[in-house]
Amino acid sequence: MQDAASGLQSVQLVESANATVNIPVFSPGTTSPVIVSAVKVDQSQSSTVAFKVMDMAGNSTNCDPVDFTVKLEGATERHAFRSLSSTEHFVRIVNGKPGLRRIAFRVNGVLLPPVRTDERPNPDSGPRRPHA
């Protein structure tokens, strides 16, 4: 997390389930990145973390990444994420071995171009952001 303009004032853990969270100590006003980590405790279950981040100018934002783990073994999986903030628009894929060869996303009813996981592991859903 970072605010290069006025600097970070605080990073507050708002919610945590099935995760061990580390927010490092930092000096208020720092413009350097503050690397916050969350490690899933039970890999077979979903996890949730949410943060409130405030800068020195008094602006704040919420950060609540979505975590979803899928194990396919020759099957197809469909999953819907609902009530996401309209600011959410990045997808990060961590692929194991043998892993997925291809993945597709539908955002607000619009099918995005298929992604080969060896080409673009972090697609940006851009202007078709999910709405709450």
- In this structure, are strands 48-55 and 60-63 parallel, antiparallel, or unpaired? antiparallel
Q: What was the pLDDT predicted at 131?
A: 40
Q: Is residue 2 part of a domain?
A: no
Residues 76 and 124 in one domain: yes
Question: Mean pLDDT per segment of 10 residues, for the chain of length 132 residues?
Answer: 94 93 96 92 85 95 77 72 72 73 79 67 48 39
Q: What was the pLDDT predicted at 82?
A: 73
Burial label for 37, CB within 10 Å (0-12, 13-18, 19+), is exposed
Q: What was the pLDDT predicted at 124?
A: 53
Q: Which of 81, 79, 103 is nearest to 93 (CA)?
A: 103
Q: What was the pLDDT predicted at 45?
A: 81
What is the pTM (predicted TM-score) of this model? 0.61
Residues 81 and 123 in one domain: yes
Q: What was the pLDDT predicted at 123?
A: 47
Q: What was the pLDDT predicted at 3?
A: 92
Q: Is residue 1 part of a domain?
A: no
Residues 58 and 85 in one domain: no
- Identify the helix (H) or strand (E) that includes residue 9: strand 8-17
Q: What was the pLDDT predicted at 58?
A: 95
Quote the number of domains for the chain: 2
Q: Is residue 123 part of a domain?
A: yes
Q: What was the pLDDT predicted at 21?
A: 95
Q: How far apart are CA 60 and CA 5, in angstroms?
A: 13
Residues 74 and 127 in one domain: yes
70-100 as b/e: b if 16+ CB within 10 A: eeeeeeeeeeeeeeeeeebbebeeeeeeeee
